[in-house]
Structure 1
Amino acid sequence: MRPVFHWLVRNKIRAACLSVGWAAFIFAGCLLPGKDVPSLTIFQYDKLVHFGIFAVLAFLCVAVYKHPGTVKNSLKVLLICTAYGYAVELLQGSGLVEGRSCDLYDALADSIGALIGILVFHLFRKLCAEK
C-alpha cells in the first residue's frame, strides 16, 4: 500500500486527473435518471454509497496539494467536496433529471464521507512516512 500512496502523493498531475475523473464519475452516476438506478433501500445502503464515493474523492483531492498535511488545505478540500455534494443534490432536485430528487441526507453523507476521506489520507501519511 505504501508504494501506491507515495506514487499518488508524488504525481500531482496524475492525482489531479484521478480526482477530476472521479468527480466526473460521481456527477454522471448521480444524474442518471431514477429508472436507471438500482434500488438500494436496505439499511440506507444509498447513504453508504454516498459516504464512500465522497471519501475517495476527498482522499484524492488532498493528494493534489503540494503540502497536503496542512489544516488549511484539508479544510479547502472539505469545503469543496461538501459544496460539490450539495450542488449535485440540488441538480437532482431541480427537475432536470427524471425520477431523482434532492435528499439532504445524501448531501450530509457526502460531507461526512469527505471528512473521513481526509482523515484517512492523514492516517496513511503518518503510517506511510518515509524513514
Structure 2
Amino acid sequence: MNKYYIASILWACLILGLTLTPGKSLPDVDLFSYDKLGHAGIFAIQAYLFVSGIYFDKKSVTFSVLVGLLITLVYGAGIEVAQEFIPDRGMEFMDLVANCAGSIIGISVFYISYKKNWQ
C-alpha cells in the first residue's frame, strides 16, 4: 500500500468523522466561513490523494482518473445521504454539488501536476 493510499484513507476517516458528527456536538468554530468552499476543499484533497494512490499503483492515467472520480463522487454522495440519519444534520443538495466540484478540482490538479511525467 503506497503512501497516497494511506493518506487517502486517513483523510477519508477525518471527513467521515467530521461530517457524521451530530450537529450539536460540533464545535462552534468558524473554520470555513464559506461552507461550500470547505466541502470542495476537503474533497479536492481526498480526490487528489486517492487518484495519486491509484496512479502510482497502476500507472494508468485513464484508469486512475475514472476510478478515482467514481469513488470520490460516490463517497461524497454517500456522506450526504448518511447525514439524513444524524441528529441535527441533513442532506443538502448544494453540499453534494460542492463535494463533486471538489473531487473534479482535485483530479484536475493531479492531472496538471503529473502531466509532464506522461509525455
Q: TM tier, shorter chain?
A: 0.7 to 0.9
**TM-score computed with the length of structure 1 as normaliser:** 0.77
Aligned residues: 114
Shift of 1:48: 0.7
**Matches of 1:121 and 1:68 in 2, distance apart?**
13
Shift of 1:126: 3.1
The one-letter amino acid paired with 2:83 is Q
**RMSD of Structure 2 on Structure 1 (CA):** 2.1
Match for 1:90 among 81, 94, 110?
Answer: 81
Q: Higher Cα Rg: structure 1 or 2?
A: 1
**TM-score computed with the length of structure 2 as normaliser:** 0.84
Cα displacement string for residues 44-93 of structure 1 (whole angstroms, at most 9, x for unaligned residues): x1111110000000000011123455223201111111110111111101
Shift of 1:19: 0.5
Cα displacement string for residues 13-57 of structure 1 (whole angstroms, at most 9, x for unaligned residues): 2111100000000000001111233376x97x1111110000000
Q: Percent identity?
A: 34
Match for 2:88 among 95, 99, 109?
Answer: 99
Cα displacement string for residues 65-124 of structure 1 (whole angstroms, at most 9, x for unaligned residues): 234552232011111111101111111012xx2110011211111111001100101111
The one-letter amino acid paired with 1:86 is A
Structure 1, unmatched stretches of 5+, are 1-11
